[in-house]
Amino acid sequence: MIDPKDIHGAIVHEHGRKDSLIRVTLKAVILNDNGETLVVKETDRDWWDIPGGGLDHGESIKDALARELYEEVSFEGEFEYEVIDAQDPKYLEELNLYQMRVTFLVKPSAMNFKPGADGDEIQFIDSKIYEHSELFTERVIFEFSELAKKRLG
């Protein structure tokens, strides 16, 4: 096992207890009336993903979701949200930190989207096209879209 003192963001207390700070990533599943999922191809990436990103220090979940939706898909407006999945923290060797992903079903007040400053392309897709994708991020689109559809009933 990796020693937390060797991980960026780890705290080793005076009496030996070790705590690891965890980067929290928030993802937003947005479905249109046809059950299609909003996906974004972020700047400098060549794969599709659901909108989202990191929770900044001191930021609320709603504020972080609003910021990420604005940055990636230019969404400005009200929305409701609920957790559909929270993954156990995983160590990301390439970043030398632990990360936890929390995925939300997001219900926007209006479906007004266009590529944002951090998004090159956006589209609504039938998530089933990614069910057997070789890319983890694309398989996750399918998995979380299915969870969101079950939540909607």
Tens of pLDDT, residues 59-83? 999 999 999 999 999 999 999 999 9
Going by pLDDT thresholds of 50, 70 and 90, the confidence category of residue 9 is low
**Identity at 121, one-letter amino acid code:** E
Predicted confidence at residue 21, as pLDDT, reads 77
**Identity at 27, one-letter amino acid code:** K
DSSP reduced 3-state for 83: strand
User: If you ran DSSP here, which 8-state letter would residue 82 be given?
Assistant: E
Of the candidates 4, 16, 31, 20, which has an alpha carbon nearest to the alpha carbon of residue 141? 31
Q: Are 128 and 20 in contact (CB under 8 A)?
A: no
pTM of the predicted structure, to 2 decimals: 0.86
Q: Are 73 and 113 in contact (CB under 8 A)?
A: yes
- Residue 1 reports pLDDT greater than 70: no
Task: Report the DSSP pairing between strands 22-29 and 97-108.
Answer: parallel
Residue with tokens 């937003």: 28
Q: For 83-101, what is each residue's pLDDT tens digit?
A: 999 999 988 888 778 899 9
- Residue-averaged pLDDT of the chain: 90
* 28-37, 72-81, 133-142, range with the lowest pLDDT: 133-142
Average pLDDT over residues 104-123: 96
